[in-house]
Chain A
Amino acid sequence: MPHLKRLKNTCIIGTTLLSLLTFTMNTHAADVPVGTKLSAKQVLNVGIGAEVPSLDPQKAEDNVSGRVLFDLFEGLLSEGEKGEIMPAIASKWETSKDGLVYTFYIRPNAKFSDGSTITAEDVVFSYRRLADPKTASTYAEIISMIKNATLISQGKAKPEQMGIVALNPSTVQITLEKPTPYFLKLAAFQNLSIVKKANVEKYGDQFTQPGNVVNSGAFKLKYWKIGDKIIAERNPHYWNSSKTVIETVNYFPISDANTELQMFQTGQLDFTYDIPSDKFKDLKKVYGKQLHTNPYLSIYYISLNTKVEPFKNNPKLAQALSMALDRKILSEKVTGRGEIPSYDIVPFGVADYKQQSYAWDKLSPAERLAEAQKLYKEAGYSKEKPLTLNYTYNTNILHKKVAIALASMWEQNLGVKVSLSNKEWKVFLTDRTEGNYVAARDGWIADYNDTSSFLDMFQSKHPQNHPKYTNVKYDNLIKMASLETNKEKRSKLFQEASFLLMNDYPVIPMFTYVTTHLVKQHVGGYSGLNPLDHSYSRNFYIIDSEITASR
Chain B
Amino acid sequence: MVSYTIKRFLGAWPTLIVLITLSFFLMRFAPGGPFSGEKVLSAAVQANLDAKYHLNDPIFIQYLDYLWSLARGDFGPSFKYPDWTVNQLISQGFPVSLWIGGWSMTIALIVGVLVGSLAAFKQNTWIDYVATGMSMTGISIPTFVTAPLFTLLFAVILGWLPAGGWNEGSFSNMVLPVTALALPQIAIISRIMRGSMIEVLRSNYIRTAKAKGIPNRIILFRHAIRPAILPVISYLGPATAGIITGSVVIEQIFSLPGLGSYLVKGALNRDYTLVLGSVILVGALIIAFNFIVDVLYALIDPKIKY
Contact = CB atoms under 8 A, between A and B. Distances in A.
A56 interface: yes
Interface in B236-269: 252-258, 261-262, 265, 268-269
Interface stretch (A121-129, A222-230, A316-324, A403-411): A222-230
Size band of the interface chain B makes with A: 35 or more
B39 A138 contact: yes
B151 interface: yes
B297 interface: no
Interface in B90-135: 92-93, 96
A376 to B, nearest CB: 31
A227 B93 contact: yes
A134 B35 CA distance: 16
B48 A429 contact: no
Given A138-B35, A138-B41, A426-B30, A256 B165 contact: no
Contact of A464 (B40, B166, B261, B262): B40
Nearest to A225: B92
Nearest to A394: B38
Contact of A138 (B45, B257, B265, B268): B45
Interface stretch (B8-16, B154-162, B287-295): B154-162
A54 B159 CA distance: 34
Contact of B255 (A133, A205, A252): A252
Contacts of B83: 54-56, 59, 205-206, 208-209
Given A262-B164, A427-B31, A256 B255 contact: yes
B51 interface: yes
Contacts of B31: 426-427, 430-431
A258 interface: yes
Given A254-B164, A266-B163, A443 B36 contact: no
Contacts of B35: 138
B40 A227 contact: no
B73 interface: no
B270 A426 contact: yes
A268 B162 contact: yes
Nearest to A462: B40
B253 A259 contact: yes
Given A56-B83, A262-B155, A427-B31, A136 B52 contact: yes
Contacts, number: 157
Contacts of A431: 31
Given A262-B164, A427-B32, A443-B38, A136 B48 contact: yes
Interface string A50-75: 01011110010100000000000000
Contacts of A425: 32, 268
Contacts of B51: 133, 136
Contacts of B257: 225-228
A255 interface: yes
Contacts of A258: 148
A114 to B, nearest CB: 19
A54 B81 contact: yes
B280 to A, nearest CB: 18
B165 A254 contact: yes
Given A256-B253, A429-B36, A138 B49 contact: yes
Contact of B252 (A51, A141, A256): A256
Given A256-B253, A262-B151, A443-B38, 4 more contacts: A54-B82, A140-B45, A205-B83, A229-B165
Interface of A: 51, 53-56, 59, 61, 133-134, 136-138, 140-141, 150, 153-155, 205-206, 208-209, 223, 225-229, 252-256, 258-259, 262-263, 265-266, 268, 424-427, 429-431, 433, 443-445, 463-464
Interface of B: 30-33, 35-45, 47-49, 51-53, 77, 80-84, 89, 92-93, 96, 148, 151-152, 155-156, 159, 162-168, 252-258, 261-262, 265, 268-270
26 contacts: A53-B82, A54-B83, A59-B82, A61-B37, A133-B51, A138-B49, A141-B42, A153-B45, A154-B44, A223-B168, A227-B92, A227-B255, A228-B92, A228-B165, A252-B255, A253-B255, A254-B165, A254-B255, A255-B255, A259-B151, A262-B163, A263-B162, A266-B163, A429-B37, A430-B31, A430-B36
